[in-house]
Structure 1
């Protein structure tokens, strides 16, 4: 192991353990001319006055608040009558607006797949869509072109490109059956070598995929933890409860991928038609409760990816005009044709409702639920827009506004180990905020009405970022 890799691994270990120092803020002066073109609010001290605040803690929603930003951090938050705004501050009266923390996307790839086998790296569109939609931090959760992800992260960190903070996940590891972009693990030793290599390249997470065996997954988890990395999984050959026993840190998607629900599952083998078989199970029955209890007791978080699953089910309102406008014309036509076929022959829509019920049960049991868009599948879930849709679907599942905001912001920050800096609106934290035009509590669709997105206290113009991607989703 080279010295550079040892240093990278030690750095990753420090970050994963929550021992890293405070995040450095990226000021307006550090941004490139291109990135500055998207900035709407750039003052060193900014007061967002008379707003409704949903702070991400799960606590009460507060009206008539002022959020004071100074040098990239939240200097104060409280009633407008009591927050002292210094002379020379850039003041904005935002009556009628809601402010929430910047969203933390926990399954937010930088590539995109769509109907017809389309797969493309969205190095231009994705970072603009994420940031423009209010997502200020993402975890890639699997990569098909990992060095492209690394280079994009570097460009954003330098200020050369607009986009969210990126937590890098290594390429997928799987078992004997895997796609060309996935690393097939055939021995525990190979799994350990894989983790060691990607730790040296800057990855802080490893993503295990459906056909991985217990021995290789266990070895990857053990090596990752030795080097300070964490492991998540979209599993099938290994059940959720088995993965918890192996020490996994996070699980993806929910009951629609949990082979725990298939009674005749064989060790290290993925049962067929898992989405339909698991989805048709009781989301609050004995197996569900055993699985949830095991995860909660071990502190294993769950990532909801409701937006990507919804697009595969009939009788769902998934033809978002904003999404269609950003797609290339041929992609738009193919997606609409696919939705027509799904409406006629799609899976049982009650299975999607079961997923909603499972995630609500997980939250009710004290589970740490986060969310991510997973912009794959048939193309209906776009970066950023899918994150917003997740919020709406969490509300449909029965979460309160405060709970749903907590899921899409603070809970992801907790899983990433960066909650001391981001995820909630509290004095001293990094000024990552989303300004929404409307009352989010009375209208969940207000999550789409993003006016400004603050990252490090710099306010980006959401419509400008999104408009820059028009007609490019599916190309770049």
Structure 2
């Protein structure tokens, strides 16, 4: 990988990065001190291409007679009016008491539910599927995320990081529809990483990598399976010094070891936690980790120790149930709306793959163990968020997989109120933007989903998105999604 060579040998780059460290840290501190620094993006700033998907313009909008699940963990509120003004939530309260200003755009939405925009914490802008297909979804992914109700994403690893940076800029300008994007640098891993990943072979190299990507606009790093503990520790130290945070899909370093090193977030859950392999050697990833860890006791002593360490340190966990589900038999992972968005050859290959998986026989409990582990994490006071991770065999699409996570969290035993909190507010907390996003509360940015139905009594209502509001502008879900028909796996 060219970038790895550049980091290893460019003395000028290294000197420049070090010289800029103090300035970068000061800038990060200044931005952090601004508080609610996220600016609303009004309709007038949107390009004609983006306006094509707008159904509700504002600037003053009243969503009347709605049910509200606000993401705070509080009770479901019936017969409410949510008033939006200039991109923010101006009022939330009983429909009989909220005063709607003259000239407001009023919508009677009886039978509908308003929840916060989802915050996708493992939402790549690339896509992989059966047969080794990998493609950057610069067109379809942002439309699918936004159309499905995902108003904020963290990329959580990248193969073409500058494509992500440029797409973020286009969305921020209003040139393209899509969610807010938090940029994660390319994967950092050990000496056995792929050609698309940055291979860290020394703590100094890890520090140089962090300094470079801090300059390029990344706010998160993602450590991958074969990284060593010394390199991970150096990356975490450098990231924290510069105001960045670190998450990891780990194996060579266990969850408990990563927590001790100061990691901020962990991905996937027990199916990647080498803590569950007693004979694990230091800095080595045991083989067959998904099956070995997944076959362990999700509520036993090792699980309890791992969860306790994470909770005590305030380390969040990202659930990615939707991507794992497609690897197990007897799961509902073949639906028509997903298939119609896939490119024809991809659709055929995916269906063939699912046929082979069905022939494997009964699920050996690994997937259900993962759900039990996540429920135990929540019960212990852990901060659980969620993301789709649109990779694997291709069954989990951007946006659709975020919705499916909600359904799977209910299957795992969470209440609808808890599941809404996981897919929205908790991600905002991990990102550090919960003062502006993640709940339906007065003063926050108007990032909302209007669902035609009640996801509390019918989990599938999470798929019945009518409008998605971002900055108080309401986008037509159906139009955004239909624009990607037959294009997933292509662009």
TM class, shorter-chain normalised? over 0.9
Q: Confirm whether residue 58 of structure 1 aligns to residue 73 of structure 2.
A: yes
Distance 1:348 1:74 in 2: 45
Match of residue 192, structure 2, among 177, 182, 201 = 177
Distance (whole Å) between structure 2 residues aligned to residue 280 and residue 151 of structure 1: 42
Instruction: Identify the residue that residue 129 of structure 1 maps to in structure 2.
Output: 144
Q: In the alignment, which of 360, 373, 394 is matched to residue 375 of structure 2? A: 360
Contact 1:14 1:20 in 2 (8 A): no
Partner of residue 432, structure 1: 447
State which of 261, 283, 294 in structure 2 corresponds to 1:246. 261
Specify which of 48, 52, 63 is matched with residue 63 of structure 2.
Answer: 48
| Matched position secondary structure for 2:299 | coil
Is residue 69–residue 114 contact of structure 2 (8 Å, CA) maintained in 1? yes
Deviation at 1:76, TM superposition (A): 0.4
Map 1:329-408 to 2 at 5 A: 329-345=344-360, 348-408=363-423
1:75 to 83, 87, 90: 90
Residues of 1 paired with 2:152 and 2:265: CA distance?
Answer: 17
Distance 1:13 1:144, change over 3 A: farther
Over residues 261-302 of structure 1, what are the superposed CA-to-partner deviations in whole Å (9 max), with x where a residue is unaligned? 000000000000000000000000000000000000000000
2: CA distance, partners of 1:337 / 1:10: 54
CA contact (8 A) 2:36 2:436 kept: no
**Partner of residue 209, structure 1:** 224
The reply on whether 1:190 has 2:205 as its aligned counterpart is yes
What's the CA shift for 1:19? 4.8
Q: In the alignment, is the contact (CA less than 8 A) between 2:21 and 2:242 conserved in 1?
A: no
Aligned twin of 1:88: 103
CA drift at 1:10 = 4.2
Q: 1:104-129, CA deviations, whole angstroms, 9 ceiling, x for partnerless residues?
A: 00000000000000000000000000
Which whole-Å CA distance do the structure 1 matches of 2:284 and 2:359 have between them? 31
Q: Deviations over 1:345-374 (max 9, x none)?
A: 278441000000000000000000000000
Alignment gaps of 5+ in structure 1: none
Q: Taking structure 1 as reference, are residues 182 and 248 closer, same or farther at Cα in structure 2, changes over 3 Å only? A: same
TM-score, length-normalised on structure 1?
0.98
Measure, in 2, the Cα distance between the counterparts of 1:6 and 1:64. Answer: 52
Q: Does 1:231 align with 2:246?
A: yes
Is contact 2:333-2:395 (8 Å) kept?
A: yes
How far apart in 2 are the matches of 1:347 and 1:256? 18
Find the residue that maps to 1:332 and give its secondary structure.
helix
Aligned to 1:422: 437
Matched, 1:409 2:424: yes
| Equivalent pair of 1:276/1:347 in contact (CA under 8 Å) | no
Unmatched tracts of structure 2, length 5 or more: 1-15
- Select the residue among 254, 258, 271 that pairs with 2:273: 258
Q: Is the counterpart of residue 100 in structure 1 residue 115 in structure 2?
A: yes
Q: Distance in 1 between matches of 2:428 and 2:33?
A: 11
Shift in CA distance, 139/18, structure 1 to aligned 2, threshold 3 Å: farther
Root-mean-square deviation (Å):
1.3
1:109 aligns with 2:118: no
Partner of 1:37: 52
Equivalent residue, structure 2, for 1:295: 310
Instruction: Tell me, in whole angstroms, the C-alpha distance in 2 between the residues paired with 1:65 and 1:282.
Output: 44
**1:444 corresponds to which of 459, 463, 466:** 459
CA contact (8 A) 1:315 1:349 kept: no
Contact 1:115–1:334 (CA<8 Å) still a contact in 2?
Answer: yes
Contact 2:89–2:443 (8 Å) recurs in 1:
yes
SS in 2 for 1:345: coil
Report the count of equivalent residues: 475
Deviation at 1:14, TM superposition (A): 5.0
Contact 1:211-1:237 at 8 Å conserved across structures: yes
Deviations 1:72-127 (A, max 9, x none): 00000000011110000000000000000000000000000000000000000000
Corresponding residue for residue 199 of structure 1: 214
CA contact (8 A) 1:8 1:201 kept: no
Displacement of 1:36 after TM fit?
Answer: 0.2
Q: 1:12 to 1:124 in 2, by over 3 A?
A: farther
Question: Is residue 325 from structure 1 mapped to residue 340 from structure 2 by the alignment?
Answer: yes
Match of 1:154 in 2: 169
Question: Which TM-score applies when normalising by structure 2?
Answer: 0.95
Tell me how far apart the structure 2 counterparts of residues 20 and 48 of structure 1 sit (CA, whole Å). 28
Q: How does 1:9-24 map to 2 (within 5 A)?
A: 10-13=26-29, 19-24=34-39
